[in-house]
Amino acid sequence: MSADAVNTGSRTTRLLGAAVLIGVLALILLGFFGAPEDDEQRDAVRMIFVHLPSAFGIYAAMATTAVGSVMWLWKRSRWWDIVAHSSAEIGVIFCGLTLFTGSVWGRPTWNTYWDWGDVRLVTTLILFLMLVGYLALRSAGGDENAMATRAAVVGLLAAVNVPIINRSVEWWSNRTLHQKSSLTDGNLEDLTLFTLFVGIVVWALFFVWAMIHRFRIGWLEHQLRDIDLETALIQRRAEAATESSGEESR
C-alpha cells in the first residue's frame, strides 16, 4: 500500500492511460482523415465521434453512481460510497462535454446553440444541474455517514434521468431535433461506424482510467481518516489518563 500511497497510479493505470492517449490519437486521425464527410452535414458530422461517446459516458457513470448509491444504502459500504462519488464527478465531466459538443455541433447543423423545446437537450441539462447539486451537497461537509446517505438519495434521483434522456427521442419524436438511434438503423458508412466504435472504446477506457484514479484518491482519503482516527482514539483515551486527577486546566 505504501507505494500506492505516494501516487494513485499503478502498472494497470499507466497502461490504461497510454491506451487512452494512443486511442485519442487514433480517433483524431480516423475522425478527421479516415471517415468520409456527410452528404448534408459535411465536416460537422465528425462531432459525433466525441458527442456520442460522451453521452454513453454519462450513462456509464450514472449507472455506476446508481449502483454505488444503492450499495451504500443497503450495505453501508464505504467502498461503494466512494465509487458513487467518483463516478458522479466523472459524470459531470461527461455531461458537460456532451452539452458542449452538442451545442457546438448544433450551430452549423441546427443553426442554434440551444433549443429549449428539445426534450433530450433539456433532460441532459437537468441531469447536469442535478449533478452539480450533488457535488454541492458533497462539498457542504458534515458527518461522513450522513453525507453518504444524502448523496446516495440525490444520486439515485439523478440517475432516474438517464433512461428518460435515452428514450426521449422516441417518446417526444415531434419535439426533438435529434435523430433517432443512428447506431442501429444501419445507414452509417462503415468507416464512420468503425470510428464511432473507436471513440466509444477510447472514452470507455478513459472512464475506467479516471475512475481508478479518482477512486484511489477517495480511498486514500478514507484510509487517512482511519489513521487519523487511530491517533485520535489514542489521544482521546490519553485524556482519561491525565485528567482523572485534575480538570482540563491546560
What cell does 61 get? Answer: 457513470
**Residue 139: strand, helix, or coil:** helix
49 near 188, Cβ under 8 Å?
Answer: no
- Binding piece for another protein, criterion CB under 8 A, among 2-10, 127-135, 185-193, 198-206: 127-135
In angstroms, how far is the first alpha carbon of the chain from the final one? 39
Q: List the single partner that 216 binds among another protein, ligand HEM, none, CB under 5 to 8 Å by kind.
A: none
Q: Which is nearer to ligand HEM, 129 or 153 (CB)?
A: 129
State the binding partner of 2 from another protein, ligand HEM, none, CB within 5 to 8 A by kind: none
Which residue, 199 or 218, is less far from ligand HEM as judged by CB?
Answer: 199
Size of the residue set binding another protein (CB under 8 A): 52
Closest distance between ligand HEM and the C-beta of residue 96, in Å? 10
Nearer to another protein, 125 or 204 (CB): 125
Per-residue binding string, another protein, 165-184, x by CB under 8 A, is: ----------x---------
Do 196 and 48 form a contact (C-beta atoms < 8 A)?
A: yes
**Per-position b or e across 185-198, b if 16+ CB within 10 A of its CB:** eeebeeebeebbeb
Instruction: Compute the least distance from the CB of residue 66 to ligand HEM, in Å.
Output: 16
What are 209-214's contacts with CB under 8 Å, separation 24+?
209/13, 209/16, 209/17, 209/20, 210/90, 210/93, 211/64, 211/83, 211/86, 211/87, 211/90, 212/8, 212/10, 212/12, 212/13, 212/16, 213/8, 213/9, 213/13, 214/86, 214/89, 214/90
Tell me which residues touch ligand HEM (CB under 6 A): 48, 51-52, 55, 98-99, 102-103, 105-106, 109-110, 120-121, 124, 165-166, 178-179, 181-183
Using an 8 Å Cβ cutoff, are 113 and 106 in contact?
A: yes
What Å distances lie between residue 217 and 58, 85, 114, 221, CA to CA? 21, 11, 36, 6
| DSSP E strand stretches across 43-182 | none
The smaller minimum CB distance to ligand HEM, of residues 13 and 168, is found at 168
Please tell me whether residue 109 binds another protein under the rule CB under 8 A. Answer: no
40 binds another protein (CB under 8 A): no
By beta-carbon proximity to ligand HEM, the closer residue of 79 and 114 is 114
Q: How far apart are the C-alpha atoms of 217 and 103, rounded to whole Å?
A: 33
Residue 222 touches which of ligand HEM, another protein, none (Cβ within 5-8 Å per kind): none
Per CB under 8 A, residues contacting another protein are 73, 103, 112-117, 122, 125-126, 129-130, 132-133, 135-137, 139-146, 149-150, 153-154, 156-157, 160, 175, 225, 228-229, 232-233, 236-241, 243-244, 246-250
